[in-house]
Structure 1
Amino acid sequence: MGGIWERSWNEFVVFLSLPPAIRQLVYTTNVIESLNARYRRAAQAYEHFWNETAALKRLYLATLALDSTGRGRQRCSNRWKAALKEFDVLFGGRLTANQV
């Protein structure tokens, strides 16, 4: 009965064999969990909302606070560009095969 590393080693080695751009994209998907936690905190700060619009406004403001400079979308798309190129190489051009 080994530890978690020994039980998961085969899956972890596969992760390490991926190109760096794909590895970075995979381990940054924790952003989704972080966003959900941020939404929960924003909603719990107010025990009662007057209506659905008030709740949506609160979540909207919490979302804006995540990227106050407005550069988050650019950083995200830059990471995806590199990862998509790597995926295309890994899968023999299947991602760009039908593009003109």
Structure 2
Amino acid sequence: AFPEEVRKIIYTTNAIEALNSKLRRAVRARGHFPSDDAAMKLLFLVLNRAEKEWKMPPREWAMAKAQFVILYGDRFTQAMA
């Protein structure tokens, strides 16, 4: 029932796939771990490093915001304030 711009934002998995790729790459590069805690620490460090790259919103967000304003009017603009 949503316009295409909104569906792209709602259903996108690119960000999730990119994060999973970083985690898999880190684990694969290490190979094996002496304990579960060592694996958790590595994943924690990878997530912290990846979080610093999350500065820009998806490029479809501007068009999706416009559609949300059309669909929900004041409710959306109040929520964004």
With the length of structure 2 as denominator, give the TM-score of the two structures: 0.55
Gaps of 5+ in 1: 1-13
| Percent of residue pairs identical | 39
Q: Measure the CA separation in 2 of the matches of 1:54 and 1:27.
A: 34
Deviation, 1:85, is 6.8
Greater gyration radius: 1
TM-superposed deviation, 1:91: 4.2
Query: Matched residues in 2 for 1:29 and 1:23: separation?
Result: 12
Structure 1 residues 36 and 24: alpha-carbon distance in aligned structure 2, compared to 1, 3 A threshold: same
Name the amino acid aligned to 2:39.
A
RMSD of aligned residue pairs (Cα, Å) = 3.7
1:36 to 3, 20, 29: 20
Q: Which residue of 1 aligns with 2:30?
A: 46
SS at match of 2:33: coil
Bigger relative contact order, structure 1 or 2 (CA pairs below 8 A, ≥6 apart): 2
User: What is the TM-score normalised by the length of structure 1?
Assistant: 0.47
Change (3 A) 1:36 1:93: same
* Count of aligned pairs: 77
